[in-house]
Chain A
Amino acid sequence: MRSRIPARHPAPVTALLGLGLLALVGAWLTAAPFLLGYRAAGDQRRGAAWTAATRVDVSAGAAITAVAVAALLGYAASSAAWLARYRRGE
């Protein structure tokens, strides 16, 4: 059985999980106005023009999702590039 070499720079697993959770929360925020069916005054009605709350939720949720996913992809890309550059033979 091949023994594993301890990583010199362990990956921040908790922080990466936090980024994934942020992406999920952003997706939830984007879909919330249409899933909950806001019924109060100023809430989003089906087929009506988007209210201010809906615009804010969709834009903020999309921004959070985009930032979190981009950070995850950037971290993966930088790690892959570093491994390909300095740990080619391992």
Chain B
Amino acid sequence: MTATMSERSRMDAEGDPSVPHQAARPWAGCAETFGEPEPTPFLGPYIGLVSGVLCALVGAFLLLAPYAFDYRQGAVSVPRSSVVDLATGACVLAIGLLTAALFGATLVRRLRAPEPVRPVRAEQPAPVEPPELFIEPEPEPDFEPEPVRPREPDPLPPTAPAPAPAIDPAGALRDLLTPLVAALAADLRARDEGEKPSGQSEKD
């Protein structure tokens, strides 16, 4: 039994070692959410998007170059350089636009994804004391003088207070001594009242 209790207290303090990343303490769960947020890697798709657009622009330039620079120079047949530029320019334009679209889609998908939180355990979680420590001491009872009453049989001694679970030594001592002091005061008062009638009869 003792071993079981000690093992239980150790698991409460350290967490269950059989369950990774899961602490047995209920207050340790909040520490799991703390950590550095993991940003989305958007720089790579952004670089690809820009480069794809640039390549597409160069491909468009290649499509216009044979006419802009007049490769033909009055010849009847179309020169091979014009054919190569037109074909290559069309390929570069198409591939560049497709690449830019794919990188753009990837970038949009990553930016729309919710930002995850990296599950990093806190270095030292804030110590959470057991709830027994937070029991406040009861307020002190008022010591009002009791009205004069005929003598009664000795009052039963107040029952001893239940063992206070509070660890606060001042509150526990106060709770322990308060009924004892009240019982002592009642006893003295009753004794004085018992002596008074006899003294008056002696005087009379």
Binding site for B on A (CB under 8 A): 8-9, 12, 14-16, 18-19, 21-22, 25-26, 28-29, 32-33, 36, 38-44, 51-54, 56-57, 60, 63-64, 67-68, 70-71, 74-75, 78-79, 82, 86
Q: Which of B45, B58, B99 contacts A18 (CB 8 A)?
A: B99
The answer on a CB contact under 8 Å between A53 and B51 is: no
Q: In the complex, how many residue pairs between chain A and chain B have their CB atoms under 8 Å apart?
A: 140
How far does the Cβ of A27 sit from chain B's closest Cβ, in whole Å? 11
Q: Is the interface of B mostly helix, strand, loop or mixed?
A: helix
Q: Is the interface of A mostly helix, strand, loop or mixed?
A: helix
Given that A9-B41, A52-B69 are known contacts, is A67 also in contact with B103, CB under 8 Å in the complex?
A: no
The CA-CA distance from A8 to B106 in the complex, in Å, is 12
The answer on a CB contact under 8 Å between A12 and B81 is: no
Q: Which of A18, A60, A75 contacts B61 (CB 8 A)?
A: A60
The CA-CA distance from A42 to B78 in the complex, in Å, is 10
- Cross-chain pairs A/B with CB under 8 angstroms, 8 sampled: A19-B99, A32-B84, A38-B80, A42-B72, A42-B79, A52-B69, A52-B71, A56-B65
The CA-CA distance from A44 to B43 in the complex, in Å, is 41
Q: Which of A15, A33, A44 contacts B106 (CB 8 A)?
A: A15
